[in-house]
Structures are given as C-alpha cells and as structure tokens.
Amino acid sequence: MANTSHRALRLLSLLGSGRQWPLRELAIRLGVSERTVRRDIETLRGLDYPIATSHGPDGGYRLGSGQTLPPLLFDHDQALAVAVALQTAPSTMFGLGDDAARALATLHQAMPPALRASMESLRLTRLQNYWEFPAQPIDPAALTAVGTAVRHRRLLVAEALRPDGTRPEPGDADFSPARRIEPHHLVVWAARWYLVAYDLTDHQWRVHRVDRLHPRPTTQHFAARALPGDDLAHFVMSTHDRGDTPAAWQCTGTARLKLPAHIVARWAPGGSVVEHLDTRHCRLTLGAWSWAGVAGILATFDTELTDLHPPELVQACRRLAHRWATTTGTENPDPADG
C-alpha cells in the first residue's frame, strides 16, 4: 500500500507539470506496466483529480486545465532541486539570504521524514574558488519586472545604471536617456543575468546586464521577432558590448588581441570586458588573483598580443615566456635526443 501511495504521488507530480504524458512514457518514468499506470490514474480520478485523456497517435494524459496540486507535493528529485536552488539563490540575487533560509526551514518542517533526510544531505557550504569570476547579486524587483515583461511581451522603458547600481543624472558623463526596448529573452551566463532585447530607438538587437538596468514596465504589447542567427546562446556569448565591466580582482590588466571582438567575447571569462577596435582586433580587459593568472588567460587565445598594460602584466608575460622557453620536459628523456 505504501508503494502504491508513493507511486500515485509521483504520478500526480508528473501530471502536475502541465504537459501531456503518453502512457508509455509514464510507465517508463514510474517503472511499472502501462496497466498499472491506468489503474493509478483511475485511483487519482476517484480522489477528484480531473485527469483528461487524449486519444490518437499524439494522445496521452494531463491534469485538467486550471487545476493545481496540493501544497508541498514534492517527489524526491524535486525536493533536492528545491534545496539546491534555495541554497544557491543568495549568491546571484541581492537580499535573498534570510528569505531563502526561512523558506528552506519551512519546507524542511513540512516534508515527510524521507524527503527531509534527503534535503539535509544537501546542506551546502559555499567556498571561494579563486578562479571564479564573481558577479554582483541582482535586485529581485528588477528581475521580476523584466521577467514579467518578457513573459507577457510588454515594452520596457529602461535606464542604464552605473556598475555600482546608481543612476546617472542628466549632465553626468555616463548619462544616457531612457530607451524603449522589447524584452525577448532572459539568459543566465557566468552567474550573470542578461536580457536580450530589441531596441526601438536605433532598431538594433542588444544584450543588457539586468543588474545594470532600471526597468519601468508599460502596458504596451509587442510581437515576437526572430533572433539574429536563431541561436540565443551564441548571440549572447558573442556580443561584446553586453554591459559587462571588469570584476573585482587583485590584478586587472588589458591587452590588444589580433582577433575579432565577437570571437574573444565568446571565450572570455565572465567579468571581463571586450572592446571592438576593428574587424580584426579587439581589446580585452580581465582580472585574476595574480599577474601570472592574467597572462595565462591571455595566452589561451593563442594570438598576437600587443599594447599590454600595466607594466606588471608585461613583466608577468616575460617571466612566463622565459619559464616556458626553459621547460625541457626531462622527466622521461627521449634517447634520440642525446
């Protein structure tokens, strides 16, 4: 009986995802026969869950429209996903530390013992990885405003913020007027939230850092547009002017690379800045925990490097060049080398 109840809850959880499930796929997910799935569906219907059936080659089962699941109905995998999400959210969104901790405690108390034990096994401790490229946590209000506008396809009036989150005043050197944009997609990359939007001021596709925007929602709707190249990930990663600024590092340097900006932007670490110079060159600004670290990252682009700054970076490149030039790999010498 316990196995039957657990399976029925798992089935209800799957149906509650909102999609239509073919009978065979449900049977595979639950690890039972199709006949058992049919019987469990009838059990749920007997409990007044309106499970609709669609016939034909594309048929299957789904939970009736407008119906919701009982609160806190999580299976094992969902419980683990919630535990991880609540513990990692404070690192990417500003001010969620206490709220996430309280939500996790509430879920912990409401969970059955088995799921509670699973959640306790995922108590995370965040350690500083010195090759991590940190991002500023984002304001939940801004993210909610942008996300709602994306979902409902409503225009935004957006003002650019400084890297510290302040708003430039008219007359400031970094002030730019508010722009009307169509928000199409939200993307998370390298712990940063980006908005892919169509700018109605100059009729160009742009990528914005959400934490660098002050969005003002409107009620004006817009129609969907086809992305340039139809590849969202490539568009975001290869856009060099997406509003990034150098992350806070112990050492920050710049160099001129003999590569196009869109190529370097695709592979540059998060928290670096790529500046377009011409069709064959760009400038990369990036940081690391040491000057050798900055030099090492620059070397991964395997191209000509010029105009390096500051002098400490130049010296680090020379030291590495000398070190590599004197590396002979004599641990297992080749007899043919004498």
Q: Which of 146-155, 239-248, 270-279, 303-312 has the highest mean pLDDT?
A: 303-312
Q: Which of 105-109, 185-189, 212-216, 242-246 has the highest mean pLDDT?
A: 212-216
| Residue 168 pLDDT exceeds 90 | no
Domains and CATH numbers, the chain: 2-63 (1.10.10.10), 76-120 (no CATH), 140-236 (no CATH), 251-325 (3.30.70.250)
pLDDT in tens, 20-66: 889 989 999 888 999 998 988 888 888 777 888 888 777 788 887 55
Q: For the chain, give the percent of residues with pLDDT over 70.
A: 75
CB 256 within 8 A of CB 305: yes
| Residue 337 pLDDT exceeds 60 | no
Predicted confidence band at 266 (pLDDT cuts at 50, 70, 90)? confident
Predicted confidence band at 241 (pLDDT cuts at 50, 70, 90)? confident
The whole-chain average pLDDT of the chain stands at 80
Predicted confidence band at 171 (pLDDT cuts at 50, 70, 90)? confident
CB 49 within 8 A of CB 55: no
**pTM, two decimal places:** 0.57
At residue 267, the pLDDT reads 87
Distance of CA 313 to the CA centre of its chain: 31
CA atoms of 187 and 196, how far apart (whole Å) = 8
Whole-Å CA distances, 134 to 90, 275, 289: 13, 20, 12
**Cis ω on the peptide bond leading into residue 269 (within 30° of 0)?**
no
Q: Which of 166, 148, 164, 168 lies closest to 156, judged by CA?
A: 148
CA atoms of 262 and 279, how far apart (whole Å) = 10
Predicted confidence band at 130 (pLDDT cuts at 50, 70, 90)? very low
**What angle is formed at CA 337 by the lines to CA 332 and CA 338, rounded to 5 degrees?**
100
Neighbouring residues of 233: CB distance < 8 A, sequence distance ≥ 6: 187, 189
* Mean pLDDT, rounded, for 130-143: 65
Predicted confidence band at 1 (pLDDT cuts at 50, 70, 90)? very low
20, HSE (Cβ side, Cα atoms, 13 Å)? 12
At residue 128, the pLDDT reads 42
Predicted confidence band at 120 (pLDDT cuts at 50, 70, 90)? low
At residue 141, the pLDDT reads 80
At residue 206, the pLDDT reads 92
